[in-house]
Amino acid sequence: MGIIIPEQYKGLGLGLDALAPVTEQLVISGASMGFALTFLIHHLVCHHFIITHADKCHRDALLPSMASGEVTAAFAVSEPGVGAHPKYLKTRAKKKDKDLIITGEKSFVTNAPLADLFIVISVTGTKNNRNLFSAVIVPRQTSGLTVGKSMDIGRLYPCPHASLTLERCSVKQTYVTGKPDLAFETMAIPFKRLEELMVPVIVSGAMINLFKTLGSRLPVNLQKSEAPALEAMACRLSQMAHSSIKECMNHRNYNFPPAKTREFARRTEQSRQYFRDLMQRAKIPPDRNQDQFDRDLTTFLGLFH
C-alpha cells in the first residue's frame, strides 16, 4: 500500500511507472477491475493530495500509516444531481476563529466506506461571480460527518462507493491541503486527468486476462491462428497504457493528447468485438462473469469520451 510513498515515510519510494505494472498484474492474475480500482485510488489520492500538495506536518502525520495500509483516504468532489461541475457545487467551508465549518453533501465517493479521512472540495469564497474552492482534510471521526451505506451501483464490484453528509463539521484551518481557493484548478482537475492516465492499466490487465482465458478454451483448430493474434492485441493495449504514464508522470497536470486516450479506447473496443466474434466462431458460451466484465469495461471506457 506504500508503493509510491517516499522511503522516509516507510514506503517503497517508487513512482507511477512502478504502480502501473503492479495494478495491471493484479487484474492479469484474476482480481476484478473494481478491486484494482480500490487499490489504485488509495495510491492516487495519497500521491496527489498528500505527497504532492500537503504540507510537511500532514505528510509526517499521515504517510507512514498510509504506507502500511492502516489508513486510506478518499476524494470527495461530486454532489447529488450536479456531479463535479464547479458552477453547481454547494458544499461550503466557512472560517470561524481558527476553524473551518463545513456543510454540504458529496455523492459517489470512491472508497468512502473504507476511508479513514476524506479530501473534501469545498467552496471557500467567490471572485468575479465564480466560486473559489479549497481541499480540506476531514477525518472520518469528525463530528457531523456521516458516511452513507455502501451503494450498489451495479458495476466495479467490489470497489465501494458511498455518499457523505457534512453537518457543520469543524476542522482546523490548517487542514486545508494545497493552495487555498485554487483547489479546483490545481487539484481536482489534475486528479481527474491522473485517473484517466492510470485507469488504462486496469483495462489492459483485464484484456490480457480475458484473452489468456479464451486462448486456453479455444478448440485446437483455432489455437494456432488466433492465440498469437489475441496476445498481440493485449500486448499493444498494455504498451499504449504504460507509454502514456511514462510520458506524463513528471508533470503535475498530467496533460496528454486526448487523441491518445481516444485511440486506446478505440483499440480496446475493437479487441472486445474481436473477442465476441471469436467466442461465436469457437461456439464457446459466455462466462457467467461476462456481463459484469462488460459493465466494468464500458464504465472505464466512458472516462475517455
Q: pLDDT at position 264, please?
A: 93
Task: Measure CA 284 to chain center.
Answer: 33
Same domain (yes/no): 64, 101 = no
Q: pLDDT at position 260, please?
A: 84
Same domain (yes/no): 254, 268 = yes
Is the CB of residue 301 less than 8 Å from the CB of residue 265?
yes
Same domain (yes/no): 222, 114 = no
Q: pLDDT at position 284, please?
A: 87
Same domain (yes/no): 298, 189 = yes
Nearest residue to 114 (alpha-carbon basis) of 75, 80, 58, 154:
75
51-81 pLDDT, tens digit each: 999 999 999 999 999 999 999 999 999 999 9
Same domain (yes/no): 136, 208 = no
- Higher model confidence: residue 225 or residue 115? 115
Question: For residue 290, what pLDDT band results from cuts at 50, 70 and 90?
Answer: confident
pLDDT value at 250 more than 70: no
Residue 2 lies in a domain: no
Residue 146 lies in a domain: yes
Same domain (yes/no): 114, 176 = yes
**Do you find a cis peptide bond into 158, omega within 30 degrees of 0?**
yes
Question: For residue 113, what pLDDT band results from cuts at 50, 70 and 90?
Answer: very high
Average pLDDT, the chain: 92
Nearest residue to 156 (alpha-carbon basis) of 255, 40, 247, 271:
40
Last residue of a domain, one of 68, 94, 121: 68
Range of the domain at 265: 185-304
- Higher model confidence: residue 129 or residue 50? 50
Residue 243 lies in a domain: yes
Report the percent of the chain where pLDDT is more than 70: 98
The C-alpha cell that represents 184 in the structure block? 479546483
pLDDT value at 41 more than 90: yes
Q: How far is residue 165's CA from residue 184's CA, in Å, rounded to a whole number? A: 20
Report the percent of the chain where pLDDT is more than 90: 77
| Range name among 17-26, 203-212, 215-224 with the lowest pLDDT average | 215-224
pLDDT value at 252 more than 70: no
Last residue of a domain, one of 46, 68, 90: 68
Q: pLDDT at position 214, please?
A: 85
What mean pLDDT comes out for the span 221-232? 85
Last residue of a domain, one of 22, 37, 68: 68
Residue 103 lies in a domain: yes
CATH of the domain at 121: 2.40.110.10
Same domain (yes/no): 124, 14 = no
Same domain (yes/no): 198, 159 = no
pLDDT value at 189 more than 80: yes
Same domain (yes/no): 210, 99 = no
pLDDT value at 227 more than 80: yes
Q: How far is residue 29's CA from residue 89's CA, in Å, rounded to a whole number? A: 40
Same domain (yes/no): 178, 199 = no
Residue 245 lies in a domain: yes
Same domain (yes/no): 158, 193 = no
Residue 1 lies in a domain: no
What mean pLDDT comes out for the span 32-42? 96
Same domain (yes/no): 289, 241 = yes
- Higher model confidence: residue 220 or residue 199? 199
The number of domains in the chain is 3
Residue 178 lies in a domain: yes
